[in-house]
Amino acid sequence: MADKQASGSFLRLMSEESQASDLIIVFCDDHQETILDQGRCQGAPRRSLGGYSEDEDAWYPTRRWDRNVPLRNLPVSMQEKRDIRDRRNLQRRTIGCWESWRRSQRTVRRRMLEQMVQALSALQLWGRTLHSIEGRFGVSVKVYFVFLRYLVYLNLFNCLLTGALIQAPVFIFRNNIYSSTFKENDSYLDFFLGTGFLERSPVFYGFYTRGSLDGKCLNTPILFLLGVFSVLIFSLVMLVRRTVNGYKHKWMLSGRYNFSMSFKVFCSWDFCIHEPKSAAFKQSNIRNDLKMDLEEERFELLKSQRTLKVRVKIYFLRILLNTVVVILLGAAFCLIYIGTKYSHQQKDSKNYPWLYSLLLQYLPPIIITLVNFMLPHIFRVIVKFEDYSFTSQVNITLVRCIFLKLACLALFLFFLYDTLQKSPQNNQSCWENQFGKEMYKLLVFDLLATFTDTFFIMLPKKLLSEMYPECFLLKVMGRQKFLIQLNVLDLVYTQTVTWVGLFYCPMLTQICVCKLFAIFYIKKFAVQRCCKPTQRMFRASTSSVLFHFVLLLGLLMAFVVLGINLNKLKPSPTCGPFLGSSTVFNVTTMCVDSLPVHVGDFIKFMSSEAFAVPLIVVEILFLTSSMSLRSANNKCIERLKDMLVTCSSDKWYLVKQQAAWLQDQRSPQQSSSRAGSVEGSAPPEPRAHLDFHPLPERSVSQPCDTEPVPTHSRPPWNES
């Protein structure tokens, strides 16, 4: 009855019954309808599903009699909604007042909730802009802006945390009065270098002193630590939540339910498109997308047919090109090392003109930005020679770019740490301020680079292409595209720098919020004015799950850097809230010691190995049980899927039996010639059919009015 067809690592049953001949299918369909819709007369309108009587199975699960379903969610026409409403009103009169009060409360609550949700979603930042961007450029560009908005919300909340825990106590309990006046040596360059005026302001670590809040456990240093760690932990929780949700939807489900083609057919049209140009554009997008899918299938087919010689050649080429990539990365890292060293050495010499010394100070950020600007384009060119399918090309380039970005930052931080550790601690008037200044410079330069890129590179290119459309140079450079992945990586970079530098530059979250606002408007201008929507849709990695995951990597890097710095570097003795302590955690040890004995002992126990090892063992147990539960559920799902197929083929089998029997009923004289062609195992079943379904007799007898109604109930072929 059914044969198995291998798909993936599981076998799926394929029903053989459904591949029966068309004639029987048409006949079966007619009869299936007459069987299934009893009360329906021939000329009834197709659309009103209310024609079905209430006890029957319509083709969609009916929920009309579920009183909790609001009327407007029912898929029936207005007239039927009125009927149902009257019926419900009638019922309302027959139930007690307690029950009706409860129901009305439920509806009131539901309506209030709906209105609240709508109001909140209307209040979301930049709603209309995103809507219009989506309309012109498609969903993938909107993903970037939605990610940006999410980062803005995250940073706003972090601002609240730092404001409450770090800045407010220092301002309230400050010993000396803070005056934000310009002194003689200050200049506007201070905003770029972080010296002078800015160095004395709350932007950097040095501003925060112990002040008058000096309890054993409630003092400014502890609040400072608490603020920084709460920001990091809050960000960790939010990111993990989002990544896990996305992972669940994207990877776990798509392994089992791979609906990519169905989604493209059914879900790709945007029903909000009004203009003919957008419609034509969307249609060509869809067409290109489908063509790319088919192209990839062809590529896979070709790939499986490669000979050994070709394969060896391709692997050799790939190894060569990967070596080239590694060499390029190594060169970039060397450049960064040289830049950092040189900039640090020349830091103190005052003989140079101001522009040169400014450039020297900014040398590491300049190198990092240049490297991150040029290498991705080189990677995109290299990957074309490695003979991968288009989706793999995009993925591989993305992985390389992510590695480049995070590794550059990590190496820069490592060199910085190295420099700070090696130089004698006395000379550093406040090494934390130094570190904070580097992070601040990274952020500022990134903003400047974005601004320059949009207004001095993309805008002139666009204006030129409008004025001289046939220019050869422009044709070589290609049309301007909004590269989503690279822009998202820039956002991740910004956020990572914010997290890393938060301890040494506590106002970095506020600066980051301002920067993200500026980036939004700059990029909005870039997209709307300078870029044209691309004909080819972005593949694979526009999913926001990947971006959240990369952000998580950045956060982990921040944790690691902070951990190493706090453990290995001694707080400087001249500035900051921790002056005088040998390590930052002295304040926490003092606080724990001041607590009652039992509480202190309990806390000490929790941070010792005796607690950590059993905790790890318990976690491993949980993991193992979840994994075995998961594999058991997998097996269950496969069995249920097979059951679906068998049930459906059973249904078809019975319908065919029915149809054959009914056809025999209609034309009894032909039955003897057809006796052998019906299913071999037929004889006992038709009688059972009679017992189960007396109804078909009634519905079929209508068209058979002209023929004599069979007077016997036994199937004709039993006679022979």
Partner 1 sequence: MGNKQTIFTEEQLDAYQVRYSNTFIAAKVNILQSQLHGRYHELAPHLVPMDYTNNPDVKLPLALIINMPELKENPFRNRIVESFSEDGLGNISFNDFVDMFSVLSETAPRELKAIYAFKIYDFNTDNFICKEDLEKTLNKLTREELTPEEVNLVCEKAIEEADMDGDNKLCFTDFENMISRAPDFLR
Measured from the CB atom, the residue of 3 and 691 that comes closer to partner 1 is: 3
Residues contacting partner 1: total by CB under 8 A: 83
CB nearer to partner 1: pick between 130 and 443? 130
Binds partner 1 (CB under 8 A): choice among 23, 90, 122, 177: 122
Cα distances (angstroms) measured from residue 538 to each of 292, 393, 542, 651: 11, 12, 7, 43
Establish if 78 lies at the interface with partner 1 (CB under 8 A).
yes
Least distance in angstroms from the C-beta of 644 to partner 1: 5
CB 482 within 8 A of CB 488: no
| Alpha carbons 242 and 266: distance in angstroms, whole number | 27
Determine the Cα angle at 196 with ends 194 and 198, to 5°. Answer: 50
Among 38, 212, 245, 594, binds partner 1 (CB under 8 A): 245
Binders in 250-289 for partner 1, by CB under 8 A? 250, 253, 257-269, 271-276, 278-279, 283-284, 286-287
Q: How many whole angstroms separate alpha carbon 498 and alpha carbon 481?
A: 28
Near partner 1 in 166-195, by CB under 8 A:
none
CB of 127 to partner 1, least distance (A): 7
State which residue, 188 or 271, has the beta carbon closest to partner 1: 271
Q: Which 631-670 positions form the footprint of partner 1 (CB under 8 A)?
A: 641, 644-645, 647-649, 652
In contact, 350 and 426? CB cutoff 8 Å: no
Q: What minimum distance in Å lies between the beta carbon of 134 and partner 1? A: 9
Tokens standing for 80?
A: 């039927």
Q: What single DSSP character describes residue 482?
A: -
Q: Which two tokens stand for residue 218?
A: 């409630």
Q: CA–CA separation, 686 vs 683, rounded Å? A: 6
Report how far residue 519's alpha carbon sits from residue 507's, in angstroms, rounded to the nearest whole number.
Answer: 18
Q: Contact between 79 and partner 1 (CB under 8 A)?
A: yes
Of 29 and 56, nearer to partner 1 (C-beta) is 29
In the complex with partner 1, the residue whose CB is nearer, 419 or 648, is: 648
Q: In whole angstroms, what is the distance from residue 30 CA to residue 63 CA?
A: 26
CB of 160 to partner 1, least distance (A): 24
How is 81-98 classified by DSSP, letter by letter? HHHHHHHHHHHHHHS-HH
Tokens of 287: 């067409």
Interaction residues for partner 1, span 55-74 (CB under 8 A): 59-60, 70-74
The reply on whether position 212 binds partner 1 by CB under 8 A is no
| Backbone angles phi and psi of 620, in degrees to 5 | -60, -40
Instruction: Give the DSSP per-residue string, 556-613.
Output: HHHHHHHHHHHHHSPPPTTSSTTTT-SSTTHHHHHHHHHS-HHHHHHHHHHTSHHHHH
Are 657 and 1 in contact, with CB atoms under 8 Å apart?
no
Neighbouring residues of 707: CB distance < 8 A, sequence distance ≥ 6: 666
Binding residues among 529-588 for partner 1 as defined by CB under 8 A: 542-544
- Residue whose CB is less far from partner 1, 111 or 604: 111
Q: Is 472 in the site for partner 1 (CB under 8 A)?
A: no
Instruction: Name the residue nearer to partner 1 (CB basis): 230 or 268.
Output: 268
- Chain residues 481-500 in contact with partner 1, contact rule CB under 8 A: none
Q: Are 485 and 541 in contact (CB under 8 A)?
A: yes
Residue 45 binding partner 1, by CB under 8 A: yes
Would you count residue 142 as binding partner 1 (CB under 8 A)?
yes
Instruction: Answer for the pair 142, 270: CB distance below 8 angstroms, yes or no.
Output: no
H or E, element range at 5: strand 2-7
Nearer CB in complex with partner 1: 172/636 = 636
Task: Tell whether residue 290 is a contact of partner 1 (CB under 8 A).
Answer: yes
Q: Which residues make Cβ contacts (< 8 Å) with residue 342, sequence separation at least 6?
A: 360, 363
Least distance in angstroms from the C-beta of 1 to partner 1: 11
- Shorter beta-carbon distance to partner 1: residue 290 or 566: 290
Q: Which of residues 12-41 bind partner 1 (CB under 8 A)?
A: 12-15, 18-19, 29
CB of 14 to partner 1, least distance (A): 6
Separation CA 598–CA 258 (nearest Å): 56
- Subset of residues 294 to 333 that bind partner 1, contact rule: CB under 8 A: 294, 297
Q: Nearer Cβ to partner 1, position 284 or 713?
A: 284
Nearer to partner 1, 101 or 263 (CB): 263
Tokens of 245: 């949700």
Q: Which stretch binds partner 1 (CB under 8 A): 81-89, 350-358, 590-598, 613-621?
A: 81-89
Judged by beta carbon, residue 290 or residue 579, the one nearer partner 1 is: 290
Q: How many CB atoms lie within 10 A of CB 513?
A: 19
Binding to partner 1, residues 339-398 (CB under 8 A): none
One of 106, 241, 249, 714 touching partner 1 (CB under 8 A): 249
What minimum distance in Å lies between the beta carbon of 536 and partner 1?
A: 15
Among 93, 128, 422, 712, binds partner 1 (CB under 8 A): 128
Toward partner 1, which CB reaches closer, 604 or 639?
639
Among 6, 21, 42, 46, binds partner 1 (CB under 8 A): 46
The CB-of-569 to partner 1 minimum distance in angstroms stands at: 41
Instruction: Supply the minimum distance, in Å, between the C-beta of residue 222 and partner 1.
Output: 38
Reduced to 3 states (helix: H, G, I; strand: E, B; else coil), residue 708 is coil
Q: Report long-range pairs for 10-16 (Cβ below 8 Å, ≥24 apart).
A: 10/638, 12/641, 12/642, 12/645, 13/642, 13/645, 13/646, 13/649, 14/645, 15/645, 15/646, 15/648, 15/649, 15/652, 16/649
Q: Is 107 in the site for partner 1 (CB under 8 A)?
A: no
CB of 58 to partner 1, least distance (A): 9
Nearer to partner 1 (CB atom), residue 44 or residue 327: 44
Least separation, in Å, of the C-beta of 690 and partner 1?
26
Span near partner 1 by CB under 8 A; candidates 113-121, 207-215, 490-498, 610-618: 113-121
Is there binding between residue 108 and partner 1 (CB under 8 A)?
no
From 51, 135, 163, 246, residue interacting with partner 1 (rule: CB under 8 A): 246
- What ranges in 384-422 are assigned the alpha helix state H? 390-422
Residue from 218, 222, 207 nearest 574 by CA: 207
Beta carbon nearer to partner 1, 147 or 207: 147
